[in-house]
Chain A
């Protein structure tokens, strides 16, 4: 189900495409799927911490996005991550914001 719309059937995000002929996905077997989720959590947290947020895997099926004070929201896929991050942080998560990019560079 789409977390934002509540529409049944949901939406297949392009980063979690169902394995089928010709499609590139790491959603093909459980080992690759787990590894990919771990990588996403690692990468996303390096960005999210600049907004006071933290992401964790939730039972291999969803992600749990939390503020440092404990407010949290379930996120199904990357398609909904940034909208949820903006709701929880109350800020625009803009990857083109020069201030954000400077902080990201300084954090390397």
Chain B
């Protein structure tokens, strides 16, 4: 790629996560061999057994720790911020080949949230990088047991925009079906892509954050996960944006660490086009104004993935605030 070409205004960042041994590095190696990723820089936590033959691979120091800040939204992984700033700076100077995309591979036990919060909280990074999505690898052989046994594995699946199912070529088909049902219960909005096949669905994987919004069906009891569950709220009447913001901010302040994911397509009062909101734990990305509705359904739809919270309480709270918003709007009009 010619060095004179300008970098994108916001370089998309894909977070590749997944439990220990679930095939993250193998997937990354295959992705990097694809011509579509020729202009991709990579940040990895450690050099594993699978060699990465790629121009731009940066390694994070293993002994760095999270900077415990005053509020969780500003949690910054200092070593990640420093590495990304350095990459950006070297790209600006022409010291490294132009890259137009960044992939960060997290460790198998890492909570992905601080990586996402670093992107937004760092005053330099948030002007040059944007979260493009989370790809989580799930091992078709051991994934079901890991989801049930390790909270880290469940959280990684819950926050995924796309789930990459690995090792399907060596897994028992019956076990794979049970795993798919469990993944559907934990994160029904995330497409599950089989990546063990020879042909890798590169486009679908990289489009992670750009997946169209999908309404979710309530998971059935048999497949439900013991801790995490997904549910949706559908609202007929257009929402008041001010009230929604106050409610969600209040909810995340108190329960953000147990609200693994919130994703919504909202019909707002006074807005002709839908607005999409998208959050992971305490962090909500800047809402996006979509050009049009994806289908004929014009109702607001919110999908939550929660850990240990009764969905009925969230539904009740949402409804109480919606009533409050209507009353406040009426008071403002009459004032």
Residues of A within 8 A of B (CB): 2, 4-15, 17-18, 22-26, 36, 38-40, 42-44, 46-47, 78-83, 86, 92-96, 98, 101, 104-105, 108
- Nearest residue (CB) in A for B327 is A108
Residues of B within 8 A of A13 (CB): 249
**Residue B254, interface by CB 8 Å:** yes
Q: B287–A25 contact, CB under 8 A?
A: yes
B124 shortest CB reach to chain A, Å = 8
Interface centre among A24, A25, A94, by most B CB within 10 Å? A24
Expressed in whole angstroms, the Cα–Cα distance for A46 and B87 within the complex equals 48
**Residue B227, interface by CB 8 Å:** no
Interface residues of B in 76-134 (CB under 8 A from A): 76, 120-123, 126
Expressed in whole angstroms, the Cα–Cα distance for A41 and B179 within the complex equals 47
A-B contact pairs, 15 of them (CB 8 A): A5-B69, A5-B74, A10-B123, A11-B73, A23-B287, A24-B288, A24-B289, A43-B243, A82-B254, A93-B253, A93-B254, A94-B255, A101-B320, A104-B320, A108-B324
**Residue B332, interface by CB 8 Å:** yes
Residues of B within 8 A of A94 (CB): 254-255
Partner of B317, one of A6, A11, A42, A101: A101
**How many residues of chain B have a CB within 8 Å of chain A?**
50
Query: What 7 new A-B contacts, CB under 8 Å, besides A14-B284, A17-B286?
Result: A2-B70, A9-B122, A15-B249, A22-B288, A23-B289, A46-B328, A101-B316
A31 shortest CB reach to chain B, Å = 13
B128 shortest CB reach to chain A, Å = 13
Expressed in whole angstroms, the Cα–Cα distance for A46 and B247 within the complex equals 12
Residues of B within 8 A of A (CB): 69-71, 73-74, 76, 120-123, 126, 240-243, 245-247, 249-251, 253-255, 271, 275, 277, 279, 284-289, 309-310, 313-314, 316-317, 320-321, 323-325, 327-329, 331-332
- Nearest residue (CB) in A for B329 is A39
Residues of A within 8 A of B284 (CB): 14
A47-B324, A96-B251 known; A23 and B288 CB under 8 Å?
yes
Q: A47–B287 contact, CB under 8 A?
A: no
Partner of B242, one of A2, A4, A8, A40: A40
Partner of B241, one of A22, A26, A47, A83: A26
